[in-house]
Structure 1
């Protein structure tokens, strides 16, 4: 079971990045604090669970309001770091503290600021456990008592109800659910993939590129992404294609695309796309049905891949693919 934003949880790609960054900077000896959105009202620009990392020099990463209250939160975080005390904050349109304008959109947000490894703040060992869960693709939650600043880690197998309820603030108890990270698996280390990989990464996806051709699947061409030099049958047998994974084939070569798509349609991936014209996709359908793929399974494949935005260049095609993935993830119809 996967916990998406429609049951109260949110896409936590940025928050997970903040957690890992906070742990890394703390280990380097830098004082840092984490600010987390606990509740929103009205037209708040950032969702519950959004995080911001504040350093002792006043620099910060991430956001909790899209720019409306970040300055005020930085000041509160610096004081929290100095005192080793957590802060519970609330900002709205009438709050003079937020640069005398509050949330220009008219919403309200409630936040918690936690120093890392200081006083009432979060234990670095807990952050380490959260980062480990992210790497292992395991959902995990933290229950924070705002009156005592006690924290409890919760696993899905021990308390499924917490994950079904999702992120939320109930009185003095805030529950933070860290979802499994989004992932994109690309079959074919081609030109389009060189644009799609960084675009997807910026959208919060961990990216894996598979191609048996050494000259294509070069780490130099895909710096910062996982590259697997192998045939799809072998590579995909080692990957767990789960419900938080999008899968795209870009090779135009049936020897690679067909076995890769057979594997994908038999999995729980939330999006499957295949590069190629309408005629190519019709031929693909015939050959895959002959291989035993059902019509219902094949219908899961979007081909031609991506939204029809008139794409011509590799970058535009990559953009259309990411847009189609996003539409599927958010439950929007696309064609």
Structure 2
């Protein structure tokens, strides 16, 4: 499954290749409450087709109306601000008087969209610099931690590898977790050497591998945009992979299981060459307390905790402990015995 941004860029490339006029709209600044974050993108073709979002619908309607009434007449990038006055904020549906500034860029073959997509396909982290005066585009390598930059003369946006999620185990819970994560900007890989669990796996956009999980962790070279979740309940598959993952920069490493089972897991991992700081990074029981009663709800609770960690939000311990208690009520044994 494509992320929203990739979908926007792919549609732009298709329109350009077909000779259609189109423009790319990027949120570059926000003030107050705004529906979409800085960097959010939207593309509009000359016939008013829209992909992506910059406001959740209100600003899009105005942009579409202008294109349908006037066509795409811009030849150079333009900065446009919505919601400066309370009346405009109300008219465009911006919450609490929010204001956002957009960069509207007419696209063509020289805009570098096709090359950008090629680089993203090679999992490169790319900086795209748009000269606001001339419309010229330069693509170059970006470094980890770079963010969008806006000046009077240029807009530099960062495009790069999607967040990665490695799921160990291909059971029922893994299917829900993989499906939801694929729509949350994760490139999802599922690893399970057990043939009986891989049989019938058919989730689009999710890579299924049959090697040993610890070997895959090493091969993937996990970074700070990576997460690992172990769901097999089998120490032979989970423990070595978790050991290797805890040595990496992965922002989240977690394992399913009750508090008792996770305590036993930590004791086993102490026998390997992990220090206390590395062991402290292991999340388990995993998931936030949301009253989960089914595998699909447990998947949501796991992704909720992952999202909190990714965004630097502190998670109270009682929210994970209670989640484990609730999930344990689903029954003994198997994936649903506790998170």
**TM-score range, shorter-chain basis?**
0.7 to 0.9
**Which of 34, 38, 47 is 1:44 aligned to?**
34
Quick one: structure 1 residues 23 and 206, their matched pair in 2 at CA, closer, same or farther if it must change by over 3 Å?
same
- The structure with the largest helix share of the pair is 2
Quick one: structure 1 residues 266 and 24, their matched pair in 2 at CA, closer, same or farther if it must change by over 3 Å?
farther
Match of 1:217 in 2: 198
Quick one: structure 1 residues 106 and 96, their matched pair in 2 at CA, closer, same or farther if it must change by over 3 Å?
closer
Quick one: structure 1 residues 306 and 148, their matched pair in 2 at CA, closer, same or farther if it must change by over 3 Å?
same
* Distance in structure 2 (CA, Å) of the matches to 1:97 and 1:81: 23
Quick one: structure 1 residues 85 and 173, their matched pair in 2 at CA, closer, same or farther if it must change by over 3 Å?
closer
Match of 1:244 in 2: 225
Match of 2:101 in 1: 110
Q: Does structure 2 conserve the Cα–Cα contact (< 8 Å) formed by 1:31 and 1:81?
A: yes
Q: Does structure 2 conserve the Cα–Cα contact (< 8 Å) formed by 1:88 and 1:111?
A: yes
CA deviation map 1:214-245 (0-9, x unaligned): 33225743222111122213333321211101
* TM-score normalised by structure 2 residue count: 0.83
Q: CA RMSD in A?
A: 2.7
**Which of 141, 151, 159 is 1:155 aligned to?**
141
Quick one: structure 1 residues 219 and 70, their matched pair in 2 at CA, closer, same or farther if it must change by over 3 Å?
farther
User: 4+ runs of 1 displaced by more than 6 Å?
Assistant: 95-99
Match of 2:10 in 1: 20
Matched, 1:177 2:158: yes
- Taking the TM superposition and a 5 Å limit, the aligned residue runs for 1:149-298 are 149-156=135-142, 164=146, 166-218=147-199, 220-298=201-279
* Distance in structure 1 (CA, Å) of the matches to 2:125 and 2:135: 22
* Distance in structure 2 (CA, Å) of the matches to 1:95 and 1:129: 41
Quick one: structure 1 residues 253 and 293, their matched pair in 2 at CA, closer, same or farther if it must change by over 3 Å?
same
Matched, 1:74 2:72: no
Report the secondary structure of 1:215's partner residue. Answer: helix
Higher relative contact order (CA 8 A, sep 6+): 1
Q: Which runs of 5+ in 2 are unaligned?
A: 318-339
* TM-score normalised by structure 1 residue count: 0.84
Match of 1:65 in 2: 55
Match of 2:332 in 1: none
Match of 2:301 in 1: 320
Q: Which runs of 5+ in 1 are unaligned?
A: 1-11
